[in-house]
Chains A and B, each alone.
Chain A
């Protein structure tokens, strides 16, 4: 089955700086890659996703890049703000298969 590795497990950045979280996946058939944000005591919430026919997608301060050859995708957050502090999960899925395989999460800490 699919295996998703996520790094780093904890990331601390100064407010206003950029943050990058990286994930790799094992199954070359995977073609859907979402990112979820989880705030303390809440369920995960989708923040951005990308499909395999696209190399990059951007939504305001958040962007995701995908390198299918290397089986690698990354989340980029620019101009970080205190409300960006949370746990972020990447995931991968094969369209038509049973569900998402999640990475183990990154705890992002925004230092004031």
Chain B
């Protein structure tokens, strides 16, 4: 099993550009989530999904969109990147929000 994979590992964007951060898991987990990690801020929940076709907002959803068309994939879209979105982004999957979260290796995003 590959576990949770994320691509790309690193990305530089200009303000206003759009991009999609990819996340995939091969553990057949129903629950998937996206977090951002900023220095001194811990991890903050952006969006989550409890199953294919179902998504909801977390603590810091503004500026991000998600979709869940399959159990395996949960992409995160930035429609118009802003410098405030410079961060490290982690995708996680599990059997539920109160079960062990398996995190991917992260995507480091720099918005200029």
Contact = CB atoms under 8 A, between A and B. Distances in A.
A54 interface: no
- Nearest first, the 5 closest Cβ-Cβ pairs linking A and B are A43-B103, A102-B42, A32-B98, A104-B42, A102-B43
A32 B101 CA distance: 12
Contacts of A31: 98
A98 B45 contact: yes
A80 interface: no
Nearest to B43: A102
B108 to A, nearest CB: 9
Nearest to B31: A99
Residues of A in contact with B, size category: 20 to 34
Nearest to B40: A104
A74 B58 CA distance: 26
A20 interface: no
Contacts of B105: 41-43
B33 interface: yes
Nearest to A43: B103
A99 B33 contact: yes
Contacts of B56: 98
Contact of A105 (B42, B90, B92): B42
A34 B100 contact: yes
Contact of A44 (B33, B43, B45, B98): B43
Given A42-B105, A98-B56, A49 B100 contact: yes
Contacts of A42: 105-106
B58 A44 contact: no
A43 B104 contact: yes
B2 interface: no
